[in-house]
Structure 1
């Protein structure tokens, strides 16, 4: 198996540092220390901390498995549930203190540059579009009432999830995840309580 490049090593360290500490609290030295590289080597791969953060956000986004929301081989309601279960499992695995890197960056976005704000905004738009695909299929199958606004519903689910993650982070436990399914996911989609 080929050895990962030093650039990939720096990216992995940056994703971990930005996710754990946020944008402002993660310096280039923190990232290079985590990668066990001299600080100057960072600039062999990236021109700035912002450029690195954009790549870290992109890599984090790839791990969100949004393509599963478009899988035609699985019923749309099952895809939606599995999507949020995956997010909850990921949160539980990483520890509630990390939260969602997009949500963490969004909380800092007022004091970051426009490139980072745009990257987070685009990630949210991409996520909401993927949720809308599954919700539209549910509507076409008659699993949602014909008058339901799937775009509004997708935005509501995304926002409710981010609030859930934030609450889990504050409480340092996973109980808000159960609340999300029982109090938001199932009622919004008109599903019977599990």
Structure 2
């Protein structure tokens, strides 16, 4: 009886040690960000957004960590045409279009970005990374620069993260481009510079 209990105890200890040694490959997080267009005389665009972040580590070496990232996002934008000459006279009903597009508009974007991240640890708790992502989205508002409906969001970001116990805190600076790849009648798109703050936890 004692042998059996000792054997079970040793087995449980081994399982526990194995579980502790195995690093979790997944992490789940939440990000908030905001930004605005690059300075220009044609339009204004400001935005803030919320993202769910699902990380998966595909490979880890001595110097780098490689991750893929799934990012469902909702983006709340405000857009206004400044240069009404952007709507040319050959556009049907161009005067009405100019009057309509120069009004301040609320724009909602629903996005599912897929990203690839290369992380460089600089200590046990801190790391730098670069991130590129692309994904489909739906925009609910037509403007002089974008047709309503299907489009794509492309993001390039540089970030820094640090851990407190198992919780990772994150800040990243990014450039974002939105367009519809010519699938709509209007495809000038938006270019914004954003900053994001996030928190995530492995599981």
TM-score (normalised: structure 1): 0.21
Structure number with bigger Rg: 2
Higher helix share: 1
Higher strand share: 2
TM-score of the superposed pair, with normalisation by structure 2: 0.21
